[in-house]
Amino acid sequence: MNVKAAATQFSLPQAGLVIGGNLLRQSSGGTHIHINPATGEQQAEVPIAGAREVKAAIDAAAKALPGWRSTSPAIRRDLLFKLSDLVLRETERFAWIGAKEVGTPIKSVRAIPGKFAAWTKYAAGWADKMEGRVVSTFQDDNVFDYTICEPFGVIGMIVTWNGPLMGLAMKVGPALAAGNTVVIKPPEFTPFTAALLLQLAEEAGIPEGVLNLVTGGAEAGEALVLDDRVAKVAFTGGGHTASRIAAAIAPQSKPALYELGGKSANLVFADADMDVAVRHSARQPLFLSGQGCVLPTRLLVEQSIAEVFLDKVMAEVASLKMGDPMDEETDLGPVVHFQAQSRLLSTIAKAKSDGDGELLMGGGKPRHLENGAFVEATVFANVKPESSLGQNECFGPVISVIPFRNEDEAVEIANATRFGLGAYIHSANLPRTLNLVHRLHSGNVIVNGAATARENAPFGGLGLSGYGREGGRDGLAEYIRIKNVAIAKT
């Protein structure tokens, strides 16, 4: 489908709140004017949930909970399979929305409905396989002891904006498969993907109140996490907000899943496959215009190849086309909004003035894209590991290159941040790689360009990168709790 055909076929879905199956187009929190980040043009007025609407959504989820948790696991499985198929049916529409909503190139968003289906079907497949176990041992004459897997209840989900459908994929399927009901709160500047998903959930036959949508900001988030009827919080976002949530829910001893930021190191050794390492090291940090938590934005290169490797990386970065996200040829789109653009330009300017590294490429606004929230792909060389640029997440198209002399120094630099989400290795030396896997302080280690965030594998971090896991059996376990039953035999 070409850009012109897509533009005439699709429109943005109605941005509204979905509470107990009802669409609300007005709310107490006011409205947000949604701006296309690629053009600067107003696209829609988005109703913002206030505390009143959040309470109503939790009411609906609590009301739907007894019926949903008692629904046959096989039925829950089949409904989630149907939802997955409907999302696949709407692949082109989700791609079009993603390009308009957050500025991600349409060719990149096109792969995400397939990821949503894979994650959701994987979780759905476990719905009728969440078995308890018999604790009693042979000739345990006193008690028949066993366990049951039960849903938590109402889950409050606060999802991020950088990959709206992927963020929902990592949470919604496991929670519903386990028998929980859900209230989703996306941010006000990415409301459209979630709105379409809720439409498809209704079409799939998921009962009213099982899945609710309250688009909003801090007021909605606070009302959601503090309500006593929300049994668990699942949050993706920044560390500052996570800390506030943790402090707010601590008096309730409420559990939470946190998927937060990162400053992932990408270790490239002299024996790496040069072509694979260059392509991965140049392109992967700039995916989503660098707005990804696990992207390898710290490029650590063995000193003996650093100069040649850096030249090749910059040539690869230079080959990427920045422009209209609706264009099939575009590799890099804008950042999410103009506030993010301003923040990133200030961060880059400060890093340059502070001497955090040597600015070799980019660092400004592209002249041919003045109307959008674009930031040039930026490369700093010889970044000081202890500097702000070497330590803190930019969340934009910025690559920080750091040379290292040997394996020990590479590990020391890689582990010297407060984050621990991802670590990357490029090396042909398998014994070295296996040794590094144990030494790197990270929840995920990705070797030689392997895929990340696969539906059957756990994803999550250490330290300021969060707590808990999404994906695989571990991700499903986040949405169940274990009940022990002991029955006296006499």
| H helices present in 90-185, as ranges | 91-101, 106-109, 112-125, 164-169, 172-177
Beta strands in 6-53 (DSSP E): 17-19, 22-24, 31-35, 42-47
CA gap 86, 199 in Å, rounded: 10
| H helices present in 230-288, as ranges | 239-249, 274-283
Active site residues: 259, 293
**In the prediction, which pLDDT does 4 show?**
43
Segment (H or E) for 267: strand 265-268
Tell me 384's DSSP state.
Answer: -
**In the prediction, which pLDDT does 5 show?**
46
Question: In the chain, what percentage of residues exceed pLDDT 90?
Answer: 96
Calculate the alpha carbon distances from 441 to 122, 348, 399, 418 in Å: 28, 27, 20, 10
124-143 pLDDT per residue, tens? 999 999 999 999 888 887 89
Is residue 177 pLDDT above 80, yes or no? yes
Name all domains of the chain by residue range, CATH numbers in brackets: 3-260+466-485 (3.40.605.10), 265-454 (3.40.309.10)
**In the prediction, which pLDDT does 1 show?**
39
Q: 0.85 cut: is pTM over it?
A: yes
Is residue 425 pLDDT above 50, yes or no? yes
237-262 pLDDT per residue, tens? 999 999 999 999 999 999 999 999 99
**In the prediction, which pLDDT does 489 show?**
85
Q: What is the arithmetic mean of pLDDT over 92-104?
A: 97
Is residue 330 pLDDT above 90, yes or no? yes
Is residue 155 within 8 A of residue 468, CB to CB? The reply is: no
Question: In the chain, what percentage of residues exceed pLDDT 70?
Answer: 98
Which of 37-41, 268-272, 342-346, 486-490 is predicted with the least confidence, judged by mean pLDDT? 486-490
